[in-house]
Chain A
Amino acid sequence: MDKKISVKVCLGTTCFVMGSSNLQELIDTVPKKYGDKVDVMGVPCLGLCSIDWEFSKAPYVKVDDDVIKEATVEKVLKAIDEKLSL
Protein backbone atom coordinates (compact mmCIF):
# COMPACT_ATOMS: atom_id res chain seq x y z
CA MET A 1 0.00 0.00 0.00
CA ASP A 2 1.47 3.30 -1.09
CA LYS A 3 -0.80 5.80 0.55
CA LYS A 4 0.16 6.86 4.05
CA ILE A 5 -2.33 6.54 6.85
CA SER A 6 -3.03 9.87 8.47
CA VAL A 7 -3.75 10.09 12.18
CA LYS A 8 -5.06 13.38 13.54
CA VAL A 9 -5.18 13.90 17.29
CA CYS A 10 -7.59 16.66 18.30
CA LEU A 11 -5.94 19.09 20.75
CA GLY A 12 -8.96 21.37 21.14
CA THR A 13 -10.13 22.38 24.59
CA THR A 14 -12.66 19.62 25.19
CA CYS A 15 -10.50 16.82 23.84
CA PHE A 16 -7.41 18.07 25.64
CA VAL A 17 -9.03 18.02 29.07
CA MET A 18 -10.83 14.76 28.34
CA GLY A 19 -7.58 12.95 27.69
CA SER A 20 -5.96 13.88 24.40
CA SER A 21 -3.06 15.41 26.33
CA ASN A 22 -2.10 11.78 26.96
CA LEU A 23 -2.65 10.82 23.32
CA GLN A 24 0.17 13.12 22.31
CA GLU A 25 2.58 10.31 23.06
CA LEU A 26 1.35 8.79 19.77
CA ILE A 27 3.27 11.54 17.99
CA ASP A 28 6.42 9.88 19.37
CA THR A 29 5.53 6.20 19.52
CA VAL A 30 3.71 5.64 16.22
CA PRO A 31 6.58 6.61 13.89
CA LYS A 32 8.87 4.32 15.92
CA LYS A 33 6.46 1.41 15.50
CA TYR A 34 5.25 1.90 11.92
CA GLY A 35 8.01 3.96 10.34
CA ASP A 36 6.86 6.22 7.53
CA LYS A 37 3.67 4.26 6.79
CA VAL A 38 1.71 6.37 9.23
CA ASP A 39 1.62 10.14 9.65
CA VAL A 40 0.61 11.38 13.11
CA MET A 41 -0.10 15.01 13.90
CA GLY A 42 -1.91 17.19 16.38
CA VAL A 43 -4.64 19.45 15.04
CA PRO A 44 -6.09 22.56 16.75
CA CYS A 45 -9.65 21.18 16.69
CA LEU A 46 -11.56 18.57 14.73
CA GLY A 47 -14.81 20.34 15.51
CA LEU A 48 -16.52 17.11 16.57
CA CYS A 49 -17.38 17.89 20.19
CA SER A 50 -19.72 20.69 19.16
CA ILE A 51 -21.69 18.34 16.89
CA ASP A 52 -21.69 15.32 19.16
CA TRP A 53 -22.10 17.14 22.43
CA GLU A 54 -25.21 15.42 23.71
CA PHE A 55 -23.27 12.20 24.11
CA SER A 56 -19.88 13.77 24.52
CA LYS A 57 -17.37 11.20 23.42
CA ALA A 58 -14.20 13.27 23.57
CA PRO A 59 -11.33 12.86 23.00
CA TYR A 60 -11.58 12.31 19.27
CA VAL A 61 -8.94 11.02 16.89
CA LYS A 62 -9.29 10.69 13.14
CA VAL A 63 -7.56 7.78 11.41
CA ASP A 64 -7.91 8.69 7.74
CA ASP A 65 -11.63 9.45 7.57
CA ASP A 66 -12.73 7.24 10.45
CA VAL A 67 -13.52 8.97 13.71
CA ILE A 68 -12.46 7.24 16.91
CA LYS A 69 -14.56 8.36 19.86
CA GLU A 70 -13.32 8.28 23.45
CA ALA A 71 -9.95 7.54 21.96
CA THR A 72 -7.21 5.77 23.84
CA VAL A 73 -3.73 4.82 22.71
CA GLU A 74 -4.86 1.18 22.35
CA LYS A 75 -7.91 2.06 20.27
CA VAL A 76 -5.85 4.19 17.92
CA LEU A 77 -3.13 1.56 17.48
CA LYS A 78 -5.82 -1.07 16.82
CA ALA A 79 -7.38 1.14 14.16
CA ILE A 80 -3.99 1.66 12.50
CA ASP A 81 -3.33 -2.10 12.54
CA GLU A 82 -6.71 -2.77 10.93
CA LYS A 83 -6.03 -0.21 8.20
CA LEU A 84 -2.60 -1.65 7.49
CA SER A 85 -3.91 -5.21 7.22
CA LEU A 86 -6.48 -4.26 4.59
Chain B
Amino acid sequence: MFIDIDCSQVKKYNQNAFGDYFVSKRFPDESRLVAVLSDGLGSGIKANILSCMTATMLSQFISNEQIPIHKAAEIIMNSLPVCKVRHISYSTFSAIDCYDDGNAKIVEEGNPDFVWIRDGEVMSPQFETIQSKTFKNRKLKVYKLKFKLGDRVIFCSDGVTQSGLGGGRLKLGLRREGLINILKEKLTQEPEISSSELAAYIVHQARNIETDRNPKDDISACVLYFREPREAMVFTGPPYHQQKDSEYAKMFWNFNGKKAISGGTTANLISRELNIPIRMDTTISVGKLPAISFMDGIDLVTEGILTLTKTLEYLESGELDIDNAAGKLVKFLLDSDCIMFMVGAKLNQAHYDPALPIEIEIRKNIIKKIANILQDKYFKKVTVQYM
Protein backbone atom coordinates (compact mmCIF):
# COMPACT_ATOMS: atom_id res chain seq x y z
CA MET B 1 0.00 0.00 0.00
CA PHE B 2 1.05 3.56 -0.53
CA ILE B 3 0.41 6.13 2.18
CA ASP B 4 -0.64 9.39 0.58
CA ILE B 5 -0.06 12.11 3.17
CA ASP B 6 -0.43 15.86 3.15
CA CYS B 7 -1.18 18.73 5.46
CA SER B 8 -2.93 22.03 4.85
CA GLN B 9 -2.79 25.04 7.17
CA VAL B 10 -3.93 28.60 7.63
CA LYS B 11 -2.64 31.08 10.19
CA LYS B 12 -4.66 32.81 12.85
CA TYR B 13 -6.06 36.12 11.63
CA ASN B 14 -3.52 38.96 11.83
CA GLN B 15 -0.59 36.68 12.65
CA ASN B 16 2.48 36.31 10.51
CA ALA B 17 3.61 32.86 11.65
CA PHE B 18 1.90 29.48 11.91
CA GLY B 19 1.20 28.35 15.47
CA ASP B 20 0.75 24.73 14.39
CA TYR B 21 3.61 22.71 13.02
CA PHE B 22 3.55 19.64 10.80
CA VAL B 23 6.50 17.42 10.02
CA SER B 24 6.58 14.19 8.04
CA LYS B 25 9.36 11.87 7.05
CA ARG B 26 9.35 8.84 4.79
CA PHE B 27 11.82 5.98 5.06
CA PRO B 28 11.56 4.13 1.73
CA ASP B 29 14.04 1.43 2.76
CA GLU B 30 11.91 0.45 5.75
CA SER B 31 8.55 1.19 4.02
CA ARG B 32 7.85 3.46 6.93
CA LEU B 33 6.38 6.90 7.51
CA VAL B 34 6.54 9.13 10.58
CA ALA B 35 4.41 12.27 10.92
CA VAL B 36 3.79 14.70 13.77
CA LEU B 37 1.31 17.54 14.12
CA SER B 38 1.83 19.89 17.05
CA ASP B 39 -0.20 22.88 18.23
CA GLY B 40 1.72 25.50 20.23
CA LEU B 41 0.10 27.49 23.01
CA GLY B 42 -1.14 30.89 21.91
CA SER B 43 -0.39 32.07 18.39
CA GLY B 44 2.19 33.75 16.22
CA ILE B 45 5.94 33.42 16.68
CA LYS B 46 5.75 32.09 20.22
CA ALA B 47 3.37 29.28 19.28
CA ASN B 48 5.43 28.60 16.18
CA ILE B 49 8.58 28.04 18.21
CA LEU B 50 6.80 25.85 20.76
CA SER B 51 5.06 23.65 18.21
CA CYS B 52 8.10 23.45 15.96
CA MET B 53 10.30 22.28 18.84
CA THR B 54 7.77 19.72 20.01
CA ALA B 55 7.11 18.33 16.54
CA THR B 56 10.72 18.10 15.40
CA MET B 57 11.93 16.58 18.66
CA LEU B 58 9.17 14.01 18.75
CA SER B 59 9.73 13.14 15.11
CA GLN B 60 13.44 12.70 15.79
CA PHE B 61 12.83 10.50 18.81
CA ILE B 62 10.43 8.25 16.89
CA SER B 63 12.54 8.11 13.71
CA ASN B 64 15.67 7.03 15.52
CA GLU B 65 13.82 4.02 16.87
CA GLN B 66 15.90 3.99 20.02
CA ILE B 67 12.75 4.18 22.11
CA PRO B 68 9.19 3.17 21.22
CA ILE B 69 6.76 5.88 20.15
CA HIS B 70 4.69 5.82 23.35
CA LYS B 71 7.84 6.20 25.47
CA ALA B 72 9.03 9.12 23.34
CA ALA B 73 5.64 10.78 23.63
CA GLU B 74 5.52 10.14 27.38
CA ILE B 75 8.90 11.77 27.92
CA ILE B 76 7.80 14.83 26.00
CA MET B 77 4.44 14.96 27.80
CA ASN B 78 6.17 14.85 31.17
CA SER B 79 8.75 17.46 30.32
CA LEU B 80 6.69 20.13 28.53
CA PRO B 81 6.62 23.19 30.79
CA VAL B 82 3.43 24.84 32.01
CA CYS B 83 2.43 28.33 30.97
CA LYS B 84 2.50 30.62 34.04
CA VAL B 85 -0.55 32.55 32.93
CA ARG B 86 -2.85 29.85 31.61
CA HIS B 87 -1.61 26.89 33.69
CA ILE B 88 -1.72 24.54 30.71
CA SER B 89 1.08 22.87 28.83
CA TYR B 90 3.05 24.68 26.20
CA SER B 91 2.01 22.49 23.32
CA THR B 92 -0.18 19.56 22.30
CA PHE B 93 0.66 16.90 19.73
CA SER B 94 -0.43 13.91 17.63
CA ALA B 95 2.05 11.52 16.08
CA ILE B 96 1.84 8.51 13.81
CA ASP B 97 4.42 5.87 13.02
CA CYS B 98 3.15 3.60 10.26
CA TYR B 99 4.28 1.01 7.73
CA ASP B 100 3.18 0.19 4.19
CA ASP B 101 1.54 -3.04 5.40
CA GLY B 102 -0.92 -0.94 7.45
CA ASN B 103 0.55 -1.52 10.91
CA ALA B 104 0.59 1.75 12.78
CA LYS B 105 0.99 3.32 16.17
CA ILE B 106 -0.59 6.64 17.05
CA VAL B 107 -0.10 8.80 20.13
CA GLU B 108 -2.13 11.86 21.04
CA GLU B 109 -1.83 14.42 23.78
CA GLY B 110 -4.24 17.33 23.94
CA ASN B 111 -5.10 17.52 20.23
CA PRO B 112 -8.62 16.59 19.03
CA ASP B 113 -8.99 12.81 18.52
CA PHE B 114 -8.11 11.72 15.02
CA VAL B 115 -10.86 10.51 12.68
CA TRP B 116 -10.46 7.08 11.09
CA ILE B 117 -12.76 6.39 8.16
CA ARG B 118 -13.19 2.94 6.64
CA ASP B 119 -15.79 2.26 3.90
CA GLY B 120 -17.54 5.53 4.70
CA GLU B 121 -17.91 4.73 8.41
CA VAL B 122 -16.05 6.28 11.33
CA MET B 123 -14.20 3.69 13.39
CA SER B 124 -13.86 3.83 17.18
CA PRO B 125 -10.54 2.16 17.93
CA GLN B 126 -9.40 0.96 21.35
CA PHE B 127 -6.66 2.87 23.06
CA GLU B 128 -4.47 2.74 26.10
CA THR B 129 -4.15 5.74 28.40
CA ILE B 130 -0.90 6.76 29.98
CA GLN B 131 -1.31 9.26 32.82
CA SER B 132 1.48 11.78 33.22
CA LYS B 133 3.37 11.27 36.46
CA THR B 134 4.24 14.93 36.75
CA PHE B 135 1.08 16.64 35.55
CA LYS B 136 -2.39 15.46 36.57
CA ASN B 137 -4.16 17.09 33.65
CA ARG B 138 -2.07 15.41 30.97
CA LYS B 139 -3.03 12.06 29.47
CA LEU B 140 -1.50 10.27 26.56
CA LYS B 141 -3.67 8.15 24.27
CA VAL B 142 -1.82 5.29 22.61
CA TYR B 143 -3.34 3.37 19.68
CA LYS B 144 -2.03 0.27 18.01
CA LEU B 145 -3.86 -0.14 14.71
CA LYS B 146 -3.94 -2.01 11.44
CA PHE B 147 -5.07 -0.01 8.43
CA LYS B 148 -6.49 -1.46 5.23
CA LEU B 149 -6.58 -0.35 1.61
CA GLY B 150 -8.90 2.65 1.25
CA ASP B 151 -8.66 3.77 4.88
CA ARG B 152 -8.31 7.45 5.68
CA VAL B 153 -6.97 9.02 8.85
CA ILE B 154 -7.47 12.70 9.60
CA PHE B 155 -5.57 14.62 12.26
CA CYS B 156 -6.38 18.21 13.01
CA SER B 157 -5.60 20.99 15.42
CA ASP B 158 -8.36 22.41 17.64
CA GLY B 159 -8.53 25.31 15.18
CA VAL B 160 -10.64 23.00 13.00
CA THR B 161 -13.00 21.58 15.63
CA GLN B 162 -13.43 24.95 17.32
CA SER B 163 -13.88 26.96 14.14
CA GLY B 164 -16.93 29.19 14.24
CA LEU B 165 -17.00 29.09 18.04
CA GLY B 166 -19.22 31.82 19.43
CA GLY B 167 -20.23 32.89 15.93
CA GLY B 168 -23.72 33.08 14.48
CA ARG B 169 -24.66 29.63 13.22
CA LEU B 170 -22.52 27.24 15.24
CA LYS B 171 -22.33 28.57 18.76
CA LEU B 172 -20.20 25.67 19.98
CA GLY B 173 -18.05 25.59 16.88
CA LEU B 174 -17.72 22.90 14.23
CA ARG B 175 -16.79 20.19 16.74
CA ARG B 176 -15.90 16.61 15.88
CA GLU B 177 -19.42 15.83 14.60
CA GLY B 178 -19.29 18.74 12.19
CA LEU B 179 -15.90 17.66 10.90
CA ILE B 180 -17.14 14.09 10.38
CA ASN B 181 -20.14 15.39 8.43
CA ILE B 182 -17.89 17.46 6.18
CA LEU B 183 -15.63 14.45 5.61
CA LYS B 184 -18.43 12.01 4.88
CA GLU B 185 -20.11 14.38 2.46
CA LYS B 186 -16.89 15.08 0.56
CA LEU B 187 -15.89 11.42 0.43
CA THR B 188 -19.29 10.41 -0.97
CA GLN B 189 -18.88 12.99 -3.72
CA GLU B 190 -15.22 12.20 -4.41
CA PRO B 191 -14.27 8.78 -3.04
CA GLU B 192 -10.80 8.92 -4.64
CA ILE B 193 -9.86 12.45 -3.54
CA SER B 194 -6.15 12.89 -2.82
CA SER B 195 -4.88 13.72 0.65
CA SER B 196 -3.68 17.17 -0.36
CA GLU B 197 -7.07 18.07 -1.82
CA LEU B 198 -9.00 16.71 1.17
CA ALA B 199 -6.73 18.51 3.66
CA ALA B 200 -7.16 21.77 1.75
CA TYR B 201 -10.93 21.22 1.63
CA ILE B 202 -11.18 20.71 5.42
CA VAL B 203 -9.18 23.87 6.12
CA HIS B 204 -11.23 25.82 3.58
CA GLN B 205 -14.51 24.68 5.14
CA ALA B 206 -13.32 25.42 8.69
CA ARG B 207 -12.28 28.88 7.62
CA ASN B 208 -15.62 29.52 5.94
CA ILE B 209 -17.43 29.01 9.25
CA GLU B 210 -15.38 31.70 10.99
CA THR B 211 -16.86 35.19 11.23
CA ASP B 212 -15.68 37.18 8.19
CA ARG B 213 -13.47 34.18 7.30
CA ASN B 214 -10.93 35.37 9.86
CA PRO B 215 -9.61 32.34 11.77
CA LYS B 216 -9.52 32.85 15.54
CA ASP B 217 -6.89 30.13 15.88
CA ASP B 218 -4.38 28.40 13.63
CA ILE B 219 -6.18 25.79 11.50
CA SER B 220 -4.36 22.63 10.39
CA ALA B 221 -5.57 19.39 8.89
CA CYS B 222 -3.37 16.41 8.08
CA VAL B 223 -4.76 13.56 5.98
CA LEU B 224 -3.42 10.06 5.40
CA TYR B 225 -4.88 7.87 2.67
CA PHE B 226 -3.90 4.22 2.26
CA ARG B 227 -4.19 3.29 -1.38
CA GLU B 228 -2.68 1.44 -4.32
CA PRO B 229 0.46 3.23 -5.39
CA ARG B 230 0.71 4.95 -8.75
CA GLU B 231 4.02 3.72 -10.06
CA ALA B 232 6.29 5.49 -12.50
CA MET B 233 9.69 4.88 -14.03
CA VAL B 234 12.11 7.38 -15.53
CA PHE B 235 14.83 5.99 -17.78
CA THR B 236 17.69 8.43 -18.23
CA GLY B 237 21.11 7.91 -19.74
CA PRO B 238 22.56 4.89 -21.55
CA PRO B 239 23.78 1.93 -19.46
CA TYR B 240 27.52 1.75 -18.79
CA HIS B 241 27.87 -1.63 -20.53
CA GLN B 242 26.40 -1.41 -23.99
CA GLN B 243 25.69 -5.14 -24.13
CA LYS B 244 23.12 -4.61 -21.36
CA ASP B 245 21.08 -2.11 -23.43
CA SER B 246 18.54 -4.64 -24.57
CA GLU B 247 18.09 -6.15 -21.11
CA TYR B 248 17.36 -2.75 -19.53
CA ALA B 249 15.15 -1.69 -22.42
CA LYS B 250 13.02 -4.81 -21.93
CA MET B 251 12.88 -4.23 -18.18
CA PHE B 252 11.67 -0.69 -18.86
CA TRP B 253 9.05 -1.90 -21.32
CA ASN B 254 7.74 -4.57 -18.96
CA PHE B 255 7.46 -2.12 -16.07
CA ASN B 256 3.91 -1.93 -14.80
CA GLY B 257 3.21 1.78 -14.53
CA LYS B 258 3.81 5.08 -16.30
CA LYS B 259 7.05 5.47 -18.24
CA ALA B 260 9.21 8.45 -19.14
CA ILE B 261 12.49 8.75 -21.01
CA SER B 262 14.78 11.69 -20.41
CA GLY B 263 17.63 11.90 -22.90
CA GLY B 264 18.06 11.98 -26.68
CA THR B 265 20.56 9.14 -26.79
CA THR B 266 18.43 7.17 -24.35
CA ALA B 267 15.34 7.62 -26.52
CA ASN B 268 17.31 6.38 -29.55
CA LEU B 269 18.51 3.38 -27.56
CA ILE B 270 14.98 2.38 -26.50
CA SER B 271 13.70 3.02 -30.01
CA ARG B 272 16.41 0.75 -31.46
CA GLU B 273 16.01 -2.05 -28.90
CA LEU B 274 12.23 -2.14 -28.86
CA ASN B 275 11.69 -1.09 -32.45
CA ILE B 276 9.44 1.86 -31.65
CA PRO B 277 9.81 4.87 -33.96
CA ILE B 278 10.33 8.34 -32.46
CA ARG B 279 8.34 11.32 -33.62
CA MET B 280 9.47 14.75 -32.52
CA ASP B 281 7.06 17.45 -31.49
CA THR B 282 7.15 20.13 -34.18
CA THR B 283 6.81 22.99 -31.72
CA ILE B 284 9.79 25.29 -31.89
CA SER B 285 11.22 26.30 -28.55
CA VAL B 286 13.82 28.99 -29.26
CA GLY B 287 16.27 29.53 -26.43
CA LYS B 288 14.31 27.43 -23.96
CA LEU B 289 14.27 23.65 -23.85
CA PRO B 290 14.23 21.10 -26.65
CA ALA B 291 10.70 19.99 -27.45
CA ILE B 292 9.34 16.63 -26.35
CA SER B 293 9.12 13.59 -28.62
CA PHE B 294 6.53 10.87 -28.90
CA MET B 295 6.91 7.10 -28.76
CA ASP B 296 4.03 4.62 -28.69
CA GLY B 297 3.57 3.07 -25.26
CA ILE B 298 5.75 5.62 -23.49
CA ASP B 299 4.09 8.47 -21.65
CA LEU B 300 6.76 11.12 -21.98
CA VAL B 301 10.01 11.53 -23.94
CA THR B 302 12.24 14.55 -23.29
CA GLU B 303 15.81 15.71 -23.78
CA GLY B 304 18.12 14.86 -20.85
CA ILE B 305 20.37 17.13 -18.80
CA LEU B 306 18.84 20.52 -19.69
CA THR B 307 15.29 19.32 -19.07
CA LEU B 308 16.25 17.58 -15.82
CA THR B 309 18.07 20.69 -14.57
CA LYS B 310 15.00 22.81 -15.31
CA THR B 311 12.75 20.19 -13.69
CA LEU B 312 14.80 20.41 -10.49
CA GLU B 313 14.52 24.19 -10.61
CA TYR B 314 10.70 24.04 -10.90
CA LEU B 315 10.43 21.47 -8.10
CA GLU B 316 12.55 23.68 -5.85
CA SER B 317 10.70 26.90 -6.60
CA GLY B 318 7.26 25.28 -6.55
CA GLU B 319 6.35 26.60 -10.03
CA LEU B 320 4.38 23.60 -11.14
CA ASP B 321 2.27 24.66 -14.06
CA ILE B 322 4.60 25.40 -16.94
CA ASP B 323 4.05 24.46 -20.54
CA ASN B 324 7.41 23.08 -21.66
CA ALA B 325 9.19 19.74 -21.54
CA ALA B 326 10.36 20.23 -17.93
CA GLY B 327 6.87 21.32 -16.85
CA LYS B 328 5.51 18.10 -18.35
CA LEU B 329 8.12 16.05 -16.51
CA VAL B 330 7.23 17.80 -13.24
CA LYS B 331 3.57 16.90 -13.77
CA PHE B 332 4.54 13.31 -14.62
CA LEU B 333 6.51 13.01 -11.36
CA LEU B 334 3.95 14.67 -9.11
CA ASP B 335 1.12 12.53 -10.51
CA SER B 336 2.93 9.42 -9.23
CA ASP B 337 3.53 8.03 -5.74
CA CYS B 338 6.43 5.63 -6.26
CA ILE B 339 9.03 6.78 -8.71
CA MET B 340 11.95 4.71 -9.88
CA PHE B 341 14.86 6.33 -11.67
CA MET B 342 16.97 4.10 -13.90
CA VAL B 343 20.13 6.09 -14.36
CA GLY B 344 22.65 5.14 -17.03
CA ALA B 345 26.21 5.64 -15.89
CA LYS B 346 27.71 6.13 -19.31
CA LEU B 347 29.30 9.54 -19.78
CA ASN B 348 29.05 11.63 -22.88
CA GLN B 349 32.52 13.13 -23.26
CA ALA B 350 31.10 15.98 -25.32
CA HIS B 351 29.32 17.29 -22.22
CA TYR B 352 32.68 17.97 -20.59
CA ASP B 353 33.88 20.26 -23.35
CA PRO B 354 34.83 23.52 -21.61
CA ALA B 355 33.12 25.40 -24.45
CA LEU B 356 29.76 24.22 -23.16
CA PRO B 357 27.81 26.29 -20.63
CA ILE B 358 28.64 25.51 -17.01
CA GLU B 359 25.01 24.56 -16.36
CA ILE B 360 25.58 21.14 -17.93
CA GLU B 361 25.59 19.05 -14.79
CA ILE B 362 26.49 15.48 -14.14
CA ARG B 363 23.38 13.31 -14.54
CA LYS B 364 23.87 11.38 -11.31
CA ASN B 365 24.03 14.61 -9.31
CA ILE B 366 20.86 16.07 -10.76
CA ILE B 367 18.96 12.82 -10.25
CA LYS B 368 20.16 12.69 -6.65
CA LYS B 369 18.88 16.22 -6.06
CA ILE B 370 15.55 15.52 -7.79
CA ALA B 371 15.13 12.31 -5.78
CA ASN B 372 15.80 14.16 -2.52
CA ILE B 373 13.37 16.96 -3.20
CA LEU B 374 10.63 14.56 -4.36
CA GLN B 375 11.07 12.66 -1.14
CA ASP B 376 11.42 15.55 1.31
CA LYS B 377 9.17 18.22 -0.15
CA TYR B 378 6.59 16.21 -2.10
CA PHE B 379 6.55 13.07 0.11
CA LYS B 380 7.13 10.67 -2.82
CA LYS B 381 8.68 7.27 -2.51
CA VAL B 382 11.77 7.35 -4.68
CA THR B 383 14.28 4.67 -5.66
CA VAL B 384 17.31 5.20 -7.83
CA GLN B 385 19.03 2.40 -9.69
CA TYR B 386 22.27 2.95 -11.54
CA MET B 387 22.99 0.82 -14.54
Residues of A in contact with B (beta carbons under 8 Å apart)? 10-14, 16-18, 21-22, 24-25, 27-28, 41-45, 47, 49-50, 52-54, 56, 58
- Assess the B280–A42 pair: CB atoms within 8 A: yes
- Assess the B264–A17 pair: CB atoms within 8 A: no
Contacts of B281 in A (CB 8 A): 42
Interface residues in B, total, Cβ within 8 A: 31
Which residue of chain B lies nearest to A11 when distances are taken between CB atoms in the complex?
A: B290
B366 to nearest A CB, angstroms? 12
A13-B304, A17-B357, A17-B360 known; A45+B285 contact, CB < 8 A: no
The 4 A-B pairs of least Cβ separation, nearest first, read: A45-B264, A44-B264, A49-B350, A12-B264
A45 to nearest B CB, angstroms? 3
- Assess the B278–A44 pair: CB atoms within 8 A: yes
Cross-chain contact of A28 among B284, B349, B356, B357 (Cβ < 8 A): B284
Bound complex: CA A41 to CA B290 (Å): 13
Number of A-B contacts (CB under 8 A): 92
Which of B264, B288, B306, B349 gathers most chain A CB within 10 Å? B264
A13-B306, A16-B306, A53-B349 known; A43+B278 contact, CB < 8 A: yes
Bound complex: CA A21 to CA B285 (Å): 7
Which residue of chain A lies nearest to B287 when distances are taken between CB atoms in the complex?
A: A21
* Residue B56 lies at the interface, judged by CB distance under 8 Å to chain A: no
A11-B264, A12-B264, A50-B265 known; A42+B291 contact, CB < 8 A: yes
Bound complex: CA A17 to CA B304 (Å): 12
Contacts of B353 in A (CB 8 A): 14, 53, 56
- Assess the B356–A45 pair: CB atoms within 8 A: no
Contacts of B305 in A (CB 8 A): 13
B54 to nearest A CB, angstroms? 47
* Residue B348 lies at the interface, judged by CB distance under 8 Å to chain A: yes
Bound complex: CA A53 to CA B264 (Å): 16
B349 to nearest A CB, angstroms? 4
* Residue B35 lies at the interface, judged by CB distance under 8 Å to chain A: no
- Assess the B348–A16 pair: CB atoms within 8 A: no
Bound complex: CA A25 to CA B288 (Å): 13
- Assess the A25–B284 pair: CB atoms within 8 A: yes
Which residue of chain A lies nearest to B267 when distances are taken between CB atoms in the complex?
A: A44
Q: Which parts of B342-362 form the interface with A (CB within 8 Å)?
A: 348-351, 353, 355-357, 360
Cross-chain contact of B286 among A18, A24, A44, A53 (Cβ < 8 A): A24
